[in-house]
Amino acid sequence: MMRHTFLLLAAIFGFSLAAQEGPKITSAVIAADRQDLAEAKSYIDEAGQIIGTKSLSEVRSKDLAKFYYYKGLINFRLTQSSDEAIKALDPDALDKAAEGFKNLIEYEKQIGKERYTDDVKQQLPYLANAYASRGIEASGKEDYANAFIDFQRTYDLKKDFGIGTDTSMLYNAALMAQQAGNNAKAIEITEELIAMNYRGLQYKAKNAATGDPVEFGSKKQMELSVKSGAVTDPVIEGDVRPDLYLTAASLNKKEGDTAAYDNWVSKGREMFPENEALLRAELQTFLEKQEYEKALVNLNKAIEKDPSNKLFQYIKGYIIQTETKDLEKARAAYAKAIELDPNYVEPLYMSGLTYVEEANAITEKMNALKLNETSKYNALQKEQNAQFEKALPFFEKAHTVDPKDKDTLSALKEVYYKLKMYEKAKTIQTEIEAL
């Protein structure tokens, strides 16, 4: 009889051990229902510790599903509490909430019985927003590494659980990864955004009643509001795609992958042939490789599409002057740039420099003369002075526009000296010394 009693007690004791997480979960639920989050948190953590000592197959499916759900719910409520003491109970509460909800959805899908899945799906958008808010807060504190993590989590959470593809969060994650110096991750995400054809567009309108600006999360939302008469004057702004190509290129270059840099710049130019930043990047590539003809072909195409672009005209002139040495053609390009903007310092200065280069070429001829070739020397000197006189108005105009440009000041002083305008040369020297 004693032996049977012992076996019965052992069985009862063993049963109580196997079932002890159940009462803890129930207590957590009761505490949560009466808004006692501190007690609810304590009970759900105790239940988690007990479950952690067992194989999941030893826990009743009903209890395990309830545990996952309330682990998520209680921890999430902690993060949303207005009581700072409650929030401080667990600094990792948001991550534990996400873990609980994720485990619940996966578990109920596995067992084929959904007790709490619908309830969790209602909570997920708020959970995602909490991650986004925490990411924004981290970004404001320049904690870019954690901001990246939270923006990435926001994107993954919405995508994985069918809330929607929040590409703006993925874009923010790429920016934060870049700021944090995590180039590998920034490259990966940026290239993913390019593949998605992410534009980063902003949808704006005006409140029909107040005239206040209103922003929408999508074009569809904006169009529905316009149709209802709630807003007017809809506009779509922004397109970050050219920047994405540039970012992918520059980050790869930082990592030493020049082939990838060239590839992304080239693809970006194909997609956005009129984008100045991409044009500059491609031009720089051509110049580094000394592929000047390609650079000029590139520029001429861009000028055909946008003849009013003064920068294109200037760069064309610069390449012709410095690389192909056709000073007349260079001056023609500069003249078009100056025509578009009479106060454009760079082509003004470079136009003057073309005449100085011609004057310097004459100097070489003068130095090659024999001492008794005085008449030839004087004729060449007169020709040289004529070139300096042609250069002078360009340098003077550039100086008027930007009185502190060192290159212009140096060039202007030298030309004044060459033309024996010594007082003006001294004035310029004074200006140089005052910088």
What's the CA gap between 177 and 232, in Å, rounded? 38
The phi, psi pair for 233, rounded to 5°, reads 50, 55
DSSP 174-204: HHHHHHTT-HHHHHHHHHHHHHHT----EEE
Alpha-carbon gap, residue 81 to 56, rounded angstroms: 31
272-253-315-307 Cα dihedral, nearest 10 degrees: 0
Contact 40, 31 (CB under 8 A): yes
Backbone angles phi, psi at 290, to 5 degrees: 60, 35
- pLDDT of res. 19: 52
DSSP 207: E
Average pLDDT, integer, range 18-41: 90
Of 418, 414, 419, whose CA–CA distance to 432 is shortest? 414
**With bands split at pLDDT 50, 70 and 90, how would you rate the model's confidence at 217?**
low
Is residue 7 over pLDDT 70?
no
Q: What is the pLDDT of residue 15?
A: 43
Q: What is the bridge-based pairing of β-strands 213-216 and 202-207?
A: antiparallel
Residue 216 has pLDDT above 90, yes or no: no
Residue 430 or 284, more confident: 430
- Condensed to tens digits (0 to 9), the pLDDT of residues 315-330 reads 999 999 988 899 999 9
Query: Side chain identity at 301, as an amino acid letter?
Result: K
pLDDT digits (tens, 9 = 90+) for 302-318: 888 889 999 989 999 99
Cα distance between the two ends of the chain? 109
3-state secondary structure of 239: coil
Enter the tokens of residue 322: 């410095």
Higher pLDDT: 179 or 5? It is 179
pLDDT above 50: residue 11:
no
* Of residues 323, 398, 321, 327, the one with CA closest to residue 358: 327
Would you state the pLDDT for residue 91? 93
Which of the listed ranges 165-174, 368-377, 387-396 does the model predict with the highest average pLDDT?
Answer: 387-396
Closest alpha carbon to 321 in 272, 354, 278, 284: 354
Return the higher-pLDDT residue of 13 and 245.
245
- Give the pLDDT score at 343: 96
Q: For 93-110, what is the mean pLDDT?
A: 94
More confident residue, 237 or 377: 377
| pLDDT at residue 110, rounded to an integer | 93
pLDDT band at 249 (very low <50, low <70, confident <90, very high): very high
Residue that wins the pLDDT comparison between 160 and 246: 246
Q: Does the pLDDT of residue 37 top 90, yes or no?
A: yes
Domains and their CATH numbers in the chain: 342-435 (1.25.40)
DSSP designation for 82:
S
pLDDT beyond 60 at 266: yes
Residue 162 has pLDDT above 50, yes or no: yes
- What's the confidence (pLDDT) of residue 289? 87
| Local structure of 214: helix, strand or coil | strand
Please report the pLDDT score of residue 154 as a whole number: 92
150: pLDDT strictly greater than 70: yes
Q: What is the pLDDT of residues 41-74, one digit of tens each?
A: 999 999 999 999 999 989 999 999 999 999 999 9
How do residues 340-362 score in pLDDT, each as one tens digit? 999 999 999 999 999 999 999 99
- What mean pLDDT is predicted for residues 116-143? 92
pLDDT at 9 over 60: no
Q: Is residue 191 predicted with pLDDT exceeding 80? A: yes
